[in-house]
Amino acid sequence: MRKIFVTGSSGLIGSEVCEYFALRGYSVHGLDNNQRMVFFGPQGDNRWNTKRLSETYRDFHHHEDDVRDRSQVLDLIREIAPDAIIHAAAQPSHDLAAKIPFDDFDTNAVGTMNVLEAARQVCPDAPFIHLSTNKVYGDAPNRIPLKESETRWEYADSAFADGIAESFNIDQSLHSLFGASKVAADVLVQEYGRYFGMPTCCLRGGCLTGPNHSGVELHGFLSYLIKCNVEGREYQIYGYKGKQVRDNIHSFDVATFIDEFIRAPRCGEVYNLGGGKPNSCSILEAFMLAEKYSGRKQRFVYHEANRIGDHICYYSDLRKMQTHYPNWRITKTLDDIAREIASSWIKRNENHRAG
């Protein structure tokens, strides 16, 4: 039986990947110590996902380890000897990083180095997929000329009609400390691929989302927005008239791309992984989606000041991914995603009240 190792296995992407490969006959080993709850408090608690995976899949094996502990990571990878590694563990908040700079860097940069080096020593031929972020581009996308419509900002330069490509510059821009730690990890993953010839790739995610996301204000745009709507909470908009744009990709479509890469890996690759323009929406447009599937009017408060380094408009150019892996495609539309998330939050709230 083939074995797969997933860090951050109780998070959104980690749990989706675990489920995806467990259903396809893999022995799945997940590493997660619920650090998300440490970062975000009780609302970020992922134990429910750990429990769900452990109870549902016989060949899912949970490991309560920490990517920051070098010896733990090396010993675990030696024990498992995986056929593929998906590194999804991270401190994921753009804003929180400034308050916990050492925790952020130790998790994102040092943790990635620990997993990479263990992989090089134990299983250098195993495909290594790293969940990076579009924040590696810093605020450079904000230099692209924009045009304003009633509900969103849009690129005015036709060169970006399909979105941001992997050739876009990551240097000389404001990243946030989170973006900087993820740049360090991203470049390390590329270097291990190019220098050591390991099959590695960085997936520079847009808004990765889905019904298993424990969205909080500091991380999980669409999940948290819909949660606020379902629960009647005020959503906080920070700047840009609420017209800032993000592309959204369902965690299942992330898992299917990872599967494609494992089947035909490349060395030191980079892909912008998002929903692309068809799955993009502004905050104002996301309000309309939430209202459509919850039946509740969205409450919000607007603040003139924008978040430092926030993208005004960002969606991923998917052409490189689709050229390298022509069998892969987006299967979940923005409507599909919003409907699933709304249904999930409604169900979770009902279960909480019943419990």
Give the pTM: 0.95
Kindly report the CATH number assigned to the domain that includes residue 269.
Answer: 3.40.50.720
Report which DSSP code applies to 330: -
* Contact of 152 with 243, CB cutoff 8 Å: yes
**Token pair of 226, please?**
């819909």
Residue 112 sits at the vertex; the CA angle it makes with 108 and 115, to the nearest 5 degrees, is 145
The alpha helices in the chain, defined as continuous H runs, are 12-22, 35-40, 47-56, 70-80, 101-105, 111-122, 176-196, 221-231, 251-263, 283-294, 319-324, 334-354
Distance, in Å, from the CA atom of 29 to the CA atom of 125, rounded to the nearest integer, reads 18
Number of domains in the chain: 1
Kindly report, residue by residue over 137-175, the tens digit of the pLDDT.
Answer: 999 999 999 999 999 999 999 999 999 999 999 999 999
| Residue 231 neighbours by CB under 8 Å, 6+ apart | 345, 349
In which domain, by residue range, is 314 found? 3-354
Kindly report, residue by residue over 231-287, the tens digit of the pLDDT.
Answer: 999 999 999 999 999 999 999 999 999 999 999 999 999 999 999 999 999 999 999
